Structure 1
Amino acid sequence: MSLLEIMELLSYLVTVVGFPLAILTFVLEQRKERQNEEEEIFQRLSDEYREFLKLVLDNSDLHLLRREGVRTELTEEQKERRLAIFGILISLFERAYLLVYEDNMDKQTRRMWQSWEDYMREWVRRSDFRDALPELLEGEDEEFTRYISELMNEEQRAP
């Protein structure tokens, strides 16, 4: 076999094996990169929710961590702070919806989204939050508004 034939054989080998392997490697790297980006987005959103909970703790007089809400009447200033905090929460939920939610989610994305849905369900169970929702959802993304409204309706029908 001459050097030219060996070189030609090697070029065929690269074309038949190397090129598909390079494409496969590229596709796998892209998938891994996308997964890392999704996890980073989820982590940033989780950090923002943790910061939100710190805000709730800083305003403990509003009793926002109680499931049933406040049993006593709030002052006008407290009502205003509560509405502002609910506004921050809706903004965070909308951002999570826009960045994470998809109609056809893979298993990993579904797991990440499920925690956000749990948070939303927890909040829409509160009557004070539900009462504020119409005002809070004004101007928000239509699909998000529909989604959280459906969650609220489901939670209200639940025993």
Structure 2
Amino acid sequence: MNEFKDWMELASFIITIVALPFAIAVFIFEQRRERANEEEEIYLKLSDDYSRFMELVLQNSDLKLRSSVATDLTEEQLDRRLALYSILVSLFERAYLLVYEDDMDRKQLRMWRSWEDFMREWCERADFRAALPGLLHGEDPDFVNEMQKLAAEAAQQAGTKPA
């Protein structure tokens, strides 16, 4: 009986020394993998939303949103353009809130930079910059600061005053 007790005690030590740390490591690994999958899923959903936005841009090609700034728009076209810009700013804010972090790893930084590129591209449009102050009203303060910074950089590159 004493020998069985010794074997059980040895098995207990082995489990404590080997199996428990291994189980903790597996748990941590699975948690990280699950978080990475969630981040990827968020990024893909946001990308799909941006693709749908670009379909709206194509459907409203008369607004010239992918080419030069249209200056001779009707009142109805101006309203549609503002509505599209509102959708875009909302999408950008969602991307900022879900993707941007102060301390990003390499993968997160790559995801964020693709969104930052989209934001910069739109901020290069003078009509978007002009509409931006009204579109940013009531949005997340950190996001507002980011968009204002990007708009100011784009205005400086264009040689104009930021909106």
TM-score by length of 1: 0.95
Deviates more, 1:139-148 or 1:115-124: 139-148
Instruction: Report what 1:56 is aligned to.
Output: 57
Task: Report the secondary structure of 1:2's partner residue.
Answer: helix
Counterpart AA for 1:140: E
Distance in 2 separating the partners of 1:21 and 1:88: 48
Counterpart AA for 1:6: W
Residue 87 of structure 1 pairs with residue 65 of structure 2? no
Alignment of 1:111-122 (within 5 A): 111-122=110-121
Identity %: 55
* CA apart distance, 1:3: 2.0
Instruction: Report what 1:69 is aligned to.
Output: 69
Instruction: Report what 1:144 is aligned to.
Output: 143
Distance in 2 separating the partners of 1:69 and 1:33: 44
Q: Deviations over 1:37-96 (max 9, x none)?
A: 000000000000000000000001001111x322x4000000000000000000000000
Distance in 1 separating the partners of 2:24 and 2:140: 38
Counterpart AA for 2:3: S
Distance in 1 separating the partners of 2:25 and 2:116: 35
Residue 11 of structure 1 pairs with residue 12 of structure 2? yes
Instruction: Report what 1:43 is aligned to.
Output: 44
Task: Report the secondary structure of 1:65's partner residue.
Answer: coil
* CA apart distance, 1:110: 0.3
Distance in 2 separating the partners of 1:103 and 1:148: 16
Residue 107 of structure 1 pairs with residue 82 of structure 2? no
Cα RMSD of the aligned pairs, angstroms, is 1.2
* CA apart distance, 1:29: 0.6
Q: Which ranges of structure 2 fall in alignment gaps of 5 or more residues?
A: 159-163
* CA apart distance, 1:12: 0.4
Q: Which ranges of structure 1 fall in alignment gaps of 5 or more residues?
A: none
Distance in 1 separating the partners of 2:104 and 2:40: 14
Distance in 1 separating the partners of 2:157 and 2:19: 57
Larger relative contact order (Cα-Cα within 8 Å, sequence gap ≥ 6): 1
TM-score by length of 2: 0.93
Distance in 2 separating the partners of 1:155 and 1:81: 23
